[in-house]
Structure formats: C-alpha cells, structure tokens
Structure 1
C-alpha cells in the first residue's frame, strides 16, 4: 500500500498547479498550493502515509459530518431533521438563495453552510465554553488524537470576514429555524471550522465511521451504527459541495471536503482515508486531492456503487 500511495502522490502532484488556495479567509491564503498528502487506515488499524502527510491544516467543512453526529446524539434524529433537510441543494456551499425562495426556509442539508450553522446551534452546553469543550472532546475521540485544538489565527480570520455566514444565520433566525444568540452560535461555528488536523486525523475519523462507529483501535463504540450510516450517506449525496454527483460517479466513496484542502473519506467496512491539497477548484474541492482519491479508488476497487 505504501508503494502504491507514493506512486499516486507522485503522479498527481502536478495537478496542484491547476487550482488556487482559498483567499476569502485571509489566513488560508497563506497555504502552499503545492502541498499534497494522504493517509490510509484499514480496519486492522494499519496506517499508511505518503507525501506531505505531516502538514497541519484547519478542518473547515470536513467538520460538518462530525458535528452532525454530535447534534444527533444530543437531540435525536427527529429533532435535528425538523430543522435541516436531507436533500442535495445543487447550489454553492455558501448560497443563501433557497432560504428565501423555498418555504419553509430550512436548509436543504447539513453539509452546506446554512445547514451546518443550524447543526452547530443544536450542540448542547450551558454556555459556549462548555459547548466547545464537548465538541473538541468529540473530535478528539473520533480522531483518537487528544491534542486537537482550534487554530486561533484562522478562527479570528474567519470571524472577522464571516459576513456571509452572518447573513445566513440572521436570516435563519428571522425564519425561526435558529434560536439563541447568533453571534455566539457563529463564534462556535468559526471555532469548529478552525480545528487543526492532519491527514491521519481525517483518516482515523473516516475509519471509525467506516467501522459503523466503533473505534478500530480499541473496539469501543463512539457513535451508534445508525448515526454512522446517516453521516456517511450525507457524505455521498452532499459531501463534495455541488460536485457530489460527479465525485460519486468518478470515485464512489463517501467523502467530505473543506476549503482548507482536506478531504475525509469513509469506505464502509474497509478504510478511512485523509487527503490534503490546498489548491482548490472553483467549487471548493482539492484539485489534486480528488485525483489522488480517484486513483486510490480505481486501484483498490473501493467504489461503493
């Protein structure tokens, strides 16, 4: 596997020049567009890494499936999906259009920003400090990494420039979808997106979802089988923004991308994969990262379809 990953990284590194790092969050503009790394973890806890696998980056939208799992644990599926839909939107991840044109104004799914903000608002805790502690501890447990922390520079950069997310959140509150203090909810959401990870962290989370919620390192259950299945289903249908259908055809692996360049993949009962490549296409997905996943899926026959 290590030899295969080395070959795939080498063959696809050239594609990093076809995209650009995200600039709408100023701190992300400091990323190196030439970085490309991958980690694969199987159900026997064997770990394989290649390329720039030691780079740290912020999780961004890859956090959305994880916060969704926590929100369901806190509130139950019925309550969560009374406020967030289950269908692909077909729009960019930060679109506001359907919140006004479609009634009732619930977000189409938890993988777009509007839906993710609603999900974050449902995390339980007496105040934001407790909510953040619970969130961080859940991410740490699922990644088996007790050192995960929020990158404060990226968090502040997102908070200062996050006016579009503010517009989304205030519109959701005006429609009665969100309760509570909007600035507090957004503060928690920005911190959630700014959690710093590596490809191994993403691969570990993907592997524990692939095992239907059981920690492959010790056999302990982290989330229920039903929650793990629900999360992976959203990753298939909505996880790659408005390129999810194309990705399903070409790669066929439940995956979630983020504008930090990360992609988390979960191949049921087989593998967790983490990829990092901050050079993005116009839809916000890692250009070379998708190429890497396409090659891994083809070489190892990983498509679930």
Structure 2
C-alpha cells in the first residue's frame, strides 16, 4: 500500500495529464523520417526527487529518442572533464534568440553562441574524449546512462534517419570547423552528435537525469557523483537562459524552471535542490518544443509555485526540519549553503544550543557548500567549543562528504 503522500502526488500528475490531453496543435518532426512515424497521442510525465523518489503518470515509460534534450548533459560532461574555461574557448554562453538550427556564430571569435543550439552542441560533442566518432559516442552514451541510472542504447534506425537528412547540421559543422571552434573533423563530430541525439530514453529517465542536476551532480538513485557540483550549477544556468531556444525568455517568465526541449517530444526541467521533471508528448510547436509538454510545465509552475524566482522564504530556508533524539537536537539541512544560508542558520539555531545535549547539523540533504562556508562549517565544533560537561555542543553529520575540500 503506497503512502498517502504518494497517492496525493499520483493524483496531481494524473490530473495534470488529463488537462493536457485535449491541448491541440503541433506537428511531428517529419523532417526526420523515423520521428514522423511515432504515435502523436503519447503523453507522459515523471518527477524524481533529490531523495531518489520517482513518481510517474501516463506514458512515462514509453521510449523515444532524446534528441536535443541531450545537449545540457553532454555540456555537463565536457565541462566536468575539461573545465569551464577550456570549453568556453570553443562555445559561448549567450542566448542566440534564434531557432535551434540557426547559423549563430560570434562575430569576433567564430564560436557558436551557446551549447544548446545545434552548432554549439556539435562543437561540444567534438570536445568529448575519444579520437573517433565511435569512441566519443560511447563516452557520451555511458555518461547519459550515469545520469539516468541505467544503461542506455542508441536507436540505430533513428540514427540512420538523422544521418541521412543532415545537410544543415553538416553545414553548421563545416562553418564551426572553418572558424577553429570544432576540435575534430566534421565527420567525427557530427557522427558522435547524431548518435547522441538518437539515444532512447523515457520520461522517467529524463526526470532522474534532471534530478541529478538538481542534486548538484549526484544521481539520487545510485548515489554516484556523475559530475561536479560546479558543472551541475553551470549547466543549470545555461539551461535557464538558452534551453528553450528563441522562446527562452518567455519560458523563464511563464514557467521559471531551467529546462531543455527536444524534437523527439521530450522536455526536461530542473528545480534546483528539490527535483527533476521529464515530460513526453511528440507534437511540436513552430519552435520545436512539445506542445503538450509546454502546457504541462506551465500548469505545474502556475498551480504549485515552482518558478525559481518566486520561492518564498520558507522554501529557501536551508533548514528542512528540526528533530530530537534524546537530549540531542538535529537540524536537517538542505540545498546549497552559502553566506546567506549560514547567517540564517546562526540566527535560527542559536536557541537550540546549550543544555545537556548536542546540536547536530545533518548535511545529508545538502547539495553544495561554498568554499569559504565549507571551512567555517568544518571548524564550527571547535569554534563553538564544548558543553559544560565536556561533550561537544555542536556536531556535524556529513554522510556524503559535502564538506570534503576536494568536492
């Protein structure tokens, strides 16, 4: 028997899908022959929390190809392996304000404007480790699988279909090669990119991948660190400004979640520190975004206050809860801890210090700690000093090692 909370979440998701089903309009991505053959009425959603809970509804386990939803995750793999500055030598971070397949190159540097458009994504794929297209693609598919918490495979029929209708992407790659932005041959880069876009996923997979970004790069199902916390933050930032192509500004106002769409019908969205969302519905609007996927995320954001810039103070608090264990008080912390959060901790937890017990700061729900704050927290027990009976007045519980100086 599921918990009452699980029943409530399921009811919410079912209701959201029921309201989205009648939404009309949109067309399949028929310029890729294999994508023109999918069932246009498929509709699914999944939500994965940073604690590893996954809730699904509708066609959440129906396979489709990831297409451009792969772009932020491959960017994350590249910056995690090479560092942000090295990647920025080849691709920028600025919104293009143009369609996904536009010729958007910086006039001064020749770099594609960002890694979310096709030109930038092809360049990003060329940066992935491996001297051949096969090696790069294998590294990408493995990385996407670590985000999704399972082994993923390429849909070979879709790959062949994409490779056979790739004139514009090949042209973009040649232009990037001519400017020096592309680090491999055109054939190697585009073949790796087409295989990347042809990876088969589900809405459930996308939600887990997004939750990995929300959790600062740690997969909430496997517990594996897929990328660094910095790489997760940088990737989420680019999704916020560039993820929905030439609708990114409107998306930020109306939905307010870092997101990425793909012409396979998927959309992935991130609520940092909390959860990831994956949706699937194949019919696309003129900008290449899923018509009903957009409707779902707009409704969720409006009804449940998910906009990242409208969170109330109670949602931003680093203190998720306070519990007791005998004489000990346990403060369960969450999200990212920077100066503002530590200031709040000092104010709100001060009354819990003293007496016969110890105040325990439980960092299990913390996704990232700023460098200077990390040092302060590690030294906090010695700064506060012992209780009158000689025991520690404050202690830290850090099962995931977020205070490790190497993180």
| TMscore range, shorter length | over 0.9
Distance in 1 of aligned mates of 2:80 and 2:50: 24
Question: How is 1:136-215 mapped onto 2 (pairs within 5 angstroms)?
Answer: 136-146=141-151, 148-215=152-219
Tell which deviates more after alignment, 217-226 or 198-207: 217-226
User: Is the 8 Å Cα contact of residues 177 and 185 (structure 2) preserved in structure 1?
Assistant: no
TM-score, normalised with respect to structure 2:
0.72
The runs of at least 4 aligned residues of structure 1 exceeding 4 Å deviation read: none
Q: How does 1:91-130 map to 2 (within 5 A)?
A: 91-96=98-103, 98-99=104-105, 102-130=107-135
What is the CA–CA distance in structure 2 between the aligned matches of 1:35 and 1:180, rounded to whole Å? 38
Helix, strand or coil at the partner of 1:18: coil
- Deviation track 1:159-206 (CA, whole Å, cap 9, x = no partner) reads 010000010101111111113321121111100000000000000000
Q: What CA distance in whole angstroms lies between the structure 2 residues aligned with 1:82 and 1:184?
A: 19
Instruction: Identify which of 68, 72, 83 aligns with 1:76.
Output: 83
Which shows bigger deviation, 74-83 or 193-202? 74-83
When the two structures are aligned, how many residues end up with a matched partner?
A: 301
SS at 1:14 equivalent: coil
Instruction: Give the deviation of 1:104 after TM superposition.
Output: 2.3
What CA deviation, in whole Å up to 9, does each residue of 1:44-90 have, x standing for no partner?
A: 22211111112110000000011101111222111100111111000
Q: Residues of 2 paired with 1:18 and 1:87: CA distance?
A: 30
Q: Distance in 1 between matches of 2:171 and 2:77?
A: 25
Unaligned runs of at least 5 residues, structure 1: none
Report the Cα distance in structure 1 between the residues aligned to 2:215 and 2:124, rounded to whole angstroms: 24
- Which of 247-256 and 290-299 deviates more? 290-299
TM-score of the superposition, structure 1-length normalised?
0.96
What runs of 5+ residues in structure 2 fail to find an aligned partner?
1-8, 310-407
Query: For residues 126 and 180 of structure 1, do their structure 2 counterparts lie closer, same or farther at Cα, with a shift above 3 Å needed?
Result: closer
Are 1:6 and 2:14 an aligned pair?
yes
The answer to which of 29-38 and 59-68 deviates more is 29-38
More strand by share: 2
For residues 222-251 of structure 1, the C-alpha deviation after alignment (integer angstroms, 9 at most, x for no partner) is 211110000001111000111111111111
Higher gyration radius (CA): 2
Higher helix share: 1
Q: Distance in 1 between matches of 2:238 and 2:229?
A: 15
